[in-house]
Each structure stands twice: as structure tokens, then as C-alpha cells.
Structure 1
């Protein structure tokens, strides 16, 4: 992938696995730069033993578990159990602080990709025809964007939930229909504590101005 990006003259920041040779380089790093409380960054140049391989600039993030208990990364060293580490390779020539700002701003992308794979089946289809595969992929993205729109516009609770969580909270609910005053009424089986929350969602949906115009043509 890096060779393809370089051939197209594109800048990149790509997460990499910490293989033994990378771990040795990380262990020897000394000039850590503190970005914020509990997070330090550093860099090194890795020279691969593979013939014809170019030197690569590695960007390393070190997170103190005591200060950042929920931070991502991996425990790499038994004698340094207080830190989690993550490493990226980049061709950017910016200072490490600026690289951190760029990477941190899009770090949640990996979680979104993971959700697409696990909850929306992004990896579980491969059709015989290429264009059919592309169409399936695009419809998965439509479904994902609709769920994101639903959460931002109607749930409005300040945090994003996965589809698995939404199924149990909003969609996988016992229900039945009945006729009342010449209208069909949908009745949901909800505990009393959850009814105000669901009523608020229903009211929000009634007030929804969908940002797409549908045509009957």
C-alpha cells in the first residue's frame, strides 16, 4: 500500500504492527515529547533488511495507563507495564506534534471500519460480478449513514452507539398492532422506565425534516 501511495505522490499515516524489530527500536527511544497529560510521542527511522526497501519514518505514541486507563494501544514491554504503545509509519516531514494532531483527528476511523465489518457485514460478501459487489458495498454505506443520521438527529445523546447496541435499545423490541378509532396503532412492549426515552425519540421523528427530497417521477 505504501508503495502505491508513493507512486501517486500521496502523503500517508498508516498504523503498523509492532514486530520484534520495531519493538526493539521503540524500547530504545529516549526523546519523548509530552503532548498532553499521559500521552507522549516520539519518532525513529527504521531501516529494513529487505533488499531495495526504503527507510521509513515511524511515529510512536506512548500512553500512561494510570492517566489514560481507556486509551488504546498495546502493552509491549514487561518491564514497562505502565505504558501502552501504538506505532504508525508516515512519509510526512512535519514535526511529531503536528503529525499527532493529524492522526488524532482521524483516529476514530479505525473504530468505524471495525463497526462496518462486524455489524454491517462489510467483509462477508463477494459477488461474482464486480459491479454487483460495488453496489452491495454502496448500500452498506447507505445503511451505515442512515444509522449515523438517526443517532445524530434523533437520539442526540452526545455519543455514538454501534448497530449492535441500537438493535437491543431501539429495534429489537416486542410489538404488535391494533385498530383504534379507525387507525392502526403500533404498540411497543417497553418497561416503564424506558417509555419516556422512547416517547422522546418518537416526537423527534415526527418533527424531522429529512434533508433529501424524494421525487415521484
Structure 2
């Protein structure tokens, strides 16, 4: 009788042991799957974060890309990717004066200044840019005018011709002796970027 009882109990214990082993195997398999899933999820979150950062960076520079694409033809015509051309500037100013009947102007074109990196900070009107390299040409312009608005008209025409190429540093006005004219003087800086000119728009859009 004991032998029969032990045989039945042994069969039950073996079945229970097999169920336990199967449960442990399934549990272990699930744990391994969860670990792999967690690792994959962590990797996907990192990739998503990197993608978001890249999208934000592209969005931050999109305004500059749009501005460049809108003006690149004019800048190439003005040879902005080449060293400063004084003769071309003077010819353009004379044509501008004759076309719009603007007041007579005198000018002093200073030697161009070449700078790179942090050395450009005193001249660059915006935030510092890594890898920035350019030439800066200071220009002093003088007029004898009847009203300050005539100088503003000059500057507006120059801004139209040299969009994105010059910065107005300041202007001053004084009354000329023995006349009713105003002596106006403005300090400008003209920019060229010989070392930063992309080969094509793809170089900007797709880096």
C-alpha cells in the first residue's frame, strides 16, 4: 500500500516539478524579453531626443538659410565672396547718386581688416559664430545737406543695394559755419566673406 501511495505521490511531485521548471523558464524568458525591450526603449528615447535636438537646431538656422537663399544671387553679383572691391563700390555709389538725384557725398574707404573667430566679435553685429572668417572695410561718408532726412534717404538706398553686407555704426550732424547747410557724417562697415561662401545651396540645406 505504501508503495502504491509513493508511486502516486512521485508522479504528482514530478508533474509539479515540471510545472515549476516550465514556470521558471517562462518567467526567465519574460524577464529577458523585458530587459531587451527596456534597452530598446531607452535607445529609441535617445534617438528621439537626438532627432528633436537636430530638428530644433535646423529650425533655429532656418531663418538664416531663408535669408541666404533670398539674397545669394545679389551677393554673388556684388562679389561678396571675393576681397573688397573699392572701385566697384565707388562706381555703384556714383550710379546711385545719379539715378536717385541724391545729395553729393564724400567718402573715406579705410583698409580692409581681416579677422577670424573671436577676433571678429568687435565687428560682427550679432552673436559670436564659431568658424567665422571675414573682411571688414570701414567707410566714413560725409554730406552737406539741407535736412537730416536727405542722409536717411542715402542710407536707405545703400541698405537696399547692400542688404546684409554693411552695418551702420553711427551718424553725427553739425551746422556748417556761414551757411544754412548741415554737415553730416556716418560710419559704416562693409563685410565680405571669402572663406565662408558655400559651393551651393545644398551645402547649407543639407549639412
TM-score, structure 1 normalization = 0.21
The structure that has the greater radius of gyration is: 2
TM-score, structure 2 normalization = 0.22
